[in-house]
Chain A
Amino acid sequence: DIEMTQSPSTLSASVGDRVTITCRASQSINNWLAWYQQKAGKAPKVLIYQTSILESGVPSRFSGSGSGTEFTLTISSLQPDDFATYYCQQYNSYSWTFGQGTKVEIK
């Protein structure tokens, strides 16, 4: 299976900060990468798919980039609603795998 490794595991930031989360795949995933946001007690919600395409309704402060095995999720100006846990996921193979998650906390 393709292993997905996120960093950092926890991130402390303030409202207005620019935040970057990194996700590395154990092999090339041909840009078949999605990012999800999960708030406590809720189901995940997709933010970005195919590395950089914003899901409908997602604020433009979220962006994704990368290729091959290294990918990033950037929040350009952190808002109060953005404090949550973020997961990357590869869907290159018929064995979907997620990163371990990055919790974005209030500094």
Chain B
Amino acid sequence: EVQLLESGGGLLQPGGSLRLSCVASGFSFTRYAMTWVRQTPGKGLEWVSAITSGATTYYADSVTGRFTVARDNSKNTLFLQMNSLRVEDTAIYYCAKGSMAVGHYYMDVWGIGTTVTVSS
């Protein structure tokens, strides 16, 4: 069974840093792009970042320069390093598997999410 399990969420103050992890199982991790999508309380979905199978990275304008996505293929793990956090970064962060390695891909499997709360 394909599974994604996020961890690392928490409560922190503005300006702080946090690293999210997502452990993948049940599929060949190296063969697929991976993404991070967030959802603010009571609101919709916002794509945050993506990394192809070849480690090319992409970021939403709202997080460029503050967030860094990375993958450790030896551990089937996806990461999101979040720095200079703002109140508006408060959200549930989902890890999602891309449907392909590169190119036009949608999110075909999602984790259960991990909550990040930024508040003073």
Give A residues with C-beta under 8 Å from B: 1, 32, 34, 36, 43-46, 49, 55, 87, 89, 91-92, 94-101
Q: Return chain A residues, CB-CB under 8 Å to B44.
A: 87, 98-101
Contact partner of B47 (CB less than 8 A), chosen from A43, A46, A55, A95, is A95
Q: For A32, A46, A99, which residue has the most chain B Cβ atoms within 10 angstroms?
A: A46
Shortest distance between the CB of A34 and any CB in chain B (Å): 4
- Per-residue A-contact encoding for B44-57, CB less than 8 Å = 1, 0 else: 11110010000000
State whether B110 touches A43 (Cβ < 8 A).
Answer: yes
- B80-113 Cβ-contact flags toward A at 8 Å (1 or 0): 0000000000000010000100001111101111
Question: Which residues of chain B are within 8 angstroms of A97 by Cβ–Cβ distance?
Answer: 47
Residues of the A chain whose Cβ atoms lie less than 8 Å from the Cβ of B107: 34, 36, 44, 46, 89
B binding-site residues for A, Cβ under 8 Å: 35, 44-47, 50, 58, 60-61, 94, 99, 104-108, 110-113
Q: Are B106 and A49 in contact (CB under 8 A)?
A: yes
Q: CA–CA, A14 to B111, complex, Å?
A: 31
A96-B47, A96-B50, A97-B47 known; A91+B108 contact, CB < 8 A: no
**3 nearest A-B residue pairs (beta carbon):** A43-B110, A96-B47, A34-B106
A-B contact pairs, 16 of them (CB 8 A): A1-B61, A32-B104, A32-B106, A44-B45, A44-B94, A46-B108, A55-B108, A87-B44, A89-B45, A94-B58, A96-B47, A98-B44, A98-B45, A98-B47, A101-B44, A101-B45
